Amino acid sequence: MIRLSSNLSLFFKIFIPTFWTVFFGALTIAIIVSEGRSILPFDHSTEIIVVLSFFIVFFALQYFTIMRLKRIEIDKENLFVSNYFNTYRYSISDIKNVKKIELGLFKLLRIEFKDKTRFGHKITCLLKDKNLREYIALFPGKLPLG
């Protein structure tokens, strides 16, 4: 079995959101409950709105980007997708399209399925490119690369 996702996936999916939510959540709560003591150059009510908006916007940004990353392993016949809590097995014949997306330092692998899976029609992982090339060399033509 070959792991297509990078080890950094765990760091981005679990550590960053947990650390960010705990740290900035505590800071947001502290600012809300501090009675009129402002640390920003605004009055207290404006400061609460700014800090709360910052927290909500960046939490939503994390939720719709890095928290959607999955761990993906593949063998000759099956694809194993994990969100680090549950793992599901899908047949490679269920895959509609596989697309590699380059984002400078990082590469993403987006897998689109023919039918809806437990994680939706499309799943994304932080790609370890060397392992994808190894899989393609071992099983040429097996993945529908697009």
For residue 74, what are the β-bridge partners? 2, 79
**pTM of the complete model:** 0.83
Check whether 19 has a pLDDT greater than 70: yes
Q: 4 or 45: which carries more pLDDT confidence? A: 4
The span from the CA of 125 to the CA of 116, in Å, is 17
- Which residues lie closer than 8 Å to 110 by C-beta, 6 or more apart? 98, 99, 100, 101, 122, 123, 124
The span from the CA of 84 to the CA of 31, in Å, is 33
Phi, psi for 99 (deg, rounded to 5): -130, 135
Binning pLDDT at 50, 70 and 90, where does residue 38 land?
A: low
The distance between the two most distant Cα atoms of the chain, rounded to a whole number of Å, is 65
With contact defined as beta carbons under 8 Å apart, do 40 and 31 qualify? no
119-136 tens-digit pLDDT: 999 999 999 999 999 999
- Which residues lie closer than 8 Å to 121 by C-beta, 6 or more apart? 112, 113, 115
Looking at residues 88-98, what average pLDDT do you find? 95
Binning pLDDT at 50, 70 and 90, where does residue 35 land?
A: confident
Instruction: Please name the amino acid found at residue 20.
Output: W
Q: 44 or 14: which carries more pLDDT confidence? A: 14
Mean pLDDT, rounded, of the chain: 91
Check whether 39 has a pLDDT greater than 70: no
Count of CB atoms situated within 10 Å of the CB of 104: 5
Indicate left, alpha or beta for 84 from its phi (over 0: left) and psi (-120 to 50: alpha).
Answer: left
pLDDT > 90 in the chain, percent? 75
